[in-house]
Amino acid sequence: MTSIHPFWVAGVSTTSNEIAQVLHPADESLVARHYVPSAKHIEDAITSASSEAKSVQSTSAATRAEALMHVSRELNERLDEVAHLIVDENGKPLMWARAEALRAVATFRWAAEEVRRFSGEMQRLDTEVTTSGRMAIIRRFPYGPILGISPFNFPINLVAHKLAPAIAVGAPIIIKPAPSTPMCALLLGELLAQTDLPPGAWSILPIGNELAPLLVQDQRLPVISFTGSDKVGHAIEKQVPTKKLTLELGGNAAAVVLADWNSQQDLDWAASRIATFGNYQAGQSCVSVQRVLIHESLCAHLSEQIVKNVLSLPNGDPRDEKVVVGPLINVDAAMRVESWIEQAVAQGAKLLCGGTRDGAFIEPAVLVDVPANSHLLCNEVFGPVIVLASFATTDEAFELVNDSAFGLQAGIFTHDIQTAFRAHRELEVGGVIIGDVPSFRSDQMPYGGVKGSGSGKEGVRFAMEDFTHERVMVLSGLDL
C-alpha cells in the first residue's frame, strides 16, 4: 500500500509531515494511511470557515442542491467501494456496511431536496386593528460555522448527517471524524471537491482527540454537532456553555413485548428482530437492543426463542457476505464489554449464552437476573449483549423503560392502538417504535434523545433547523 490520503482544508487537498495508519479491527492489519493535520492546518480551516461564512451563506439553493446531489449520485455509483471501505476501517459486516452506504446516499439526497423547500414562511399580522397593513416574512439563517464531530460506528452516514444539513443551510462546516475511522469522511471530501461549493464551505480534519480542544473551544465555531459518548458530550457542554450544541449521546434502548403480542408469528418476529438488532454491528449502535422486557405470560417461551436466534447469528469475518456479527472497534472495547458481563455474573446474573471474547470479538451474549445496579443495565454497553427481564403489567413495563439515565428510543411490541399512543405519551425517550425494535431509524425523521441521551436532533430537516435561527422581517403599509 503506497498511497497516503490527503485531508481537506477549506476544500483544498492538503498534506503534512505526519502520517497515521488505519487498522482493520478484526486483525489489526493495515488498511490505509493518511496525512494528519497540524495545529496550523486547524487554524487555517477555522479562519477560512469564519472569513468565508457570508460567501457560503450567499450561495444559491441550486448550487447547494446540486453539490449535495452530486455526492449522492457518486456514492450510489461507488456503492460497493464505499461498503468495503466501511468494512475495512470499521469492521462492520458487509451486509450492514452496504446498508449504511445506501443510507448515506439517501441522506445527501434528502438534503438536496430540503434545500429547495427551506424557504421560510409568511405570516399575516393584520389580525389586530393595531397591526393592520403588516406582513411578516420569517426565514432561518445559520448561527455561523459548525464543528461536526462524528463517531466510529457509522463512519459515513453520521458524517453525512453533519455535512449535508450544514451545506444545505449555507453554513461552513469542519468535520472531525473519529481517529479510528477517518477514511469515509476523507472520501466525502474527495466528492465535495468536485462541486461548485465556495472555498471555506467545508474542511475534513482527521486529527487525534488530543487536538480536538483547538476546535471545540474556538469561539469562531459557534455551533457544535457531536455524536459520541455521554462522558465526552457532557464535557463539551461544560467547556463551551454558550455555544449552540446538538448532542447525540447514546442510550440503553429497551424493547417491550406486551401480552397481546402473543401469536406464534408475533413471537417469531419479535425474537428474530431482538436477536438481530441486539447484535448487529456487534451492538455498536446507540439504539441497539440492550434491555428486553417481556410480559410474564410470554417470558419463558420468548426468552428461549431469543436465545435460539442469537445462537444462530453468523459471527466472524466481517468481509464474509453471510456474517451478521463482527468485531468491536478494537480489543480494548471488547475487553470492557467482557468485564461488564463478568461483573454482572459475579453479582448474580445468569448467562444464557455467549460472552466469550477472542481478540476484538465477543460472542453474542444473553443474560437474565441482572442486578439493577449493573453496568449492563445502567450504562450503554455498546456491545453484543442483551439483558432479559419480565414484567406483570404495562405500568410496570413503562416504569422500567423510564428507569434509566438515558432516553433515546424504545420499541413496543403491541397491536393495541391505545397502548401505542400511551407509550408515545408516557415514555421518556426521543422516539417510540411500535411493532418493532428501538433500532429502527429513517434518515429523514427527527432522531435524538432526552435525559442523558443528549439534546437537539439529527434527521436532515431537523438538523437544518438546529443549525439556524429564525429572523423576522416585517413589511408595513401593505394593502392586504
The mean pLDDT value for 255-261 works out to: 98
Residue 283 has pLDDT above 80, yes or no: yes
- Would the pLDDT of 2 be above 80? no
Q: How confident is the model at residue 199 (pLDDT cuts 50, 70, 90)?
A: confident
Q: Known catalytic residue: 299? A: no
* 248 classed as catalytic: yes
Domains of the chain: 7-249+454-472 (3.40.605.10), 254-442 (3.40.309.10)
If you ran DSSP here, which 8-state letter would residue 196 be given?
-
CA gap 381, 342 in Å, rounded: 13
Cα–Cα distance, 433 to 408 (Å, whole number): 11
**Cα 289 to chain center, whole Å?**
15
Tell me the residue type at 430: G
pLDDT over 70 (residue 312): yes
Q: What is the pLDDT of residues 144-182, one digit of tens each?
A: 999 999 999 999 999 999 999 999 999 999 999 999 999
Question: For a pLDDT cut of 90, what percent of the chain falls above it?
Answer: 99
Q: Is the pLDDT of residue 209 over 60?
A: yes
> What pLDDT shows up at residue 44?
98
Compute the C-alpha angle 249/250/251, nearest 5°. Answer: 135
Average pLDDT over residues 287-309: 98
pLDDT tens track for 368-426:
999 999 999 999 999 999 999 999 999 999 999 999 999 999 999 999 999 999 999 99
Provide the mean pLDDT of the chain.
97
pLDDT given at position 41: 98
**SS3 at position 390:** strand
Among 286, 299, 363, 458, the one annotated catalytic: 286
Q: Given the residues 248, 363, 380, 458, select the one marked as catalytic.
A: 248
Give dist(CA 265, CA 416) in Å, integer: 16
